[in-house]
Amino acid sequence: MDESRSGCPINVSVEVLGDRWSLIVLRDIMFTNRRHFRTLLRESEESIASNILANRLRDLLAAGLLTRDDPGRGHRVTYSLTEDAIELVPVMAELAWWGVRHRPTFAPMRAKAILLHDGGPQMWQAFMEELREQHLGIPLPTPRTIRVSEQLDAAGAAVLAAIS
């Protein structure tokens, strides 16, 4: 707390996440499972620059929101979300819902945001469980027939097909 501008819970969150790119990098890892530098760079919808991506990955590692494995020479580094980052799902959902209502957005991405909003905290919890399995190796506490990540992808794909 001594290093923060203040001990306000909103402020401490903004200090970690309040820049133009950190949440975008976390979003890509969280919702599209991009785990490697090159994939995050090449598939970026916002065309993130490589130096900015490198800086943000470094900052997110330092802030305890990401970890990276050490695969040895010739192998690609894989980034994983930490529990701290996984618990940003409700923040992402509310930010997306605000964007849907108050700014122009792209229909397929809007469909995913609306689904995530309509699913509410129950869907957010289920999605966090999936992320814990994927990123932290924690088995799903309850079996499921269809994953939230699959539902989100399907919602986006259906709208994309309809407008293509």
DSSP for 58-120? HHHHHTTSEEE----TTS---EEE-HHHHTTHHHHHHHHHHHHHHS---HHHHHHHHHHHHHH
Report the alpha-carbon distance of residue 109 to residue 2 in Å, rounded. Answer: 39
**Residue from 53, 57, 92, 126 in contact with a second copy (CB under 8 A):** 92
**Residue from 40, 96, 126, 152 in contact with a second copy (CB under 8 A):** 96
SS3 content of the chain, % helix, strand, coil (to 5): 65, 5, 35
Report the alpha-carbon distance of residue 21 to residue 29 in Å, rounded. Answer: 13
Minimum distance from residue 139 beta carbon to a second copy (Å): 23
**Residue from 41, 52, 95, 154 in contact with a second copy (CB under 8 A):** 95
**Residue number, 35 or 112, with CB nearest to a second copy:** 112
Where in 109-138 is the site for a second copy (CB under 8 A)? 109-110, 113
33 binds a second copy (CB under 8 A): no
Task: Tell me if residue 123 falls in helix, strand or coil.
Answer: helix
Span near a second copy by CB under 8 A; candidates 41-49, 71-79, 126-134, 142-150: 41-49
- Where along the sequence are the contacts to a second copy (CB under 8 A)? 1, 4-24, 27, 45-47, 84, 87-88, 90-106, 109-110, 113
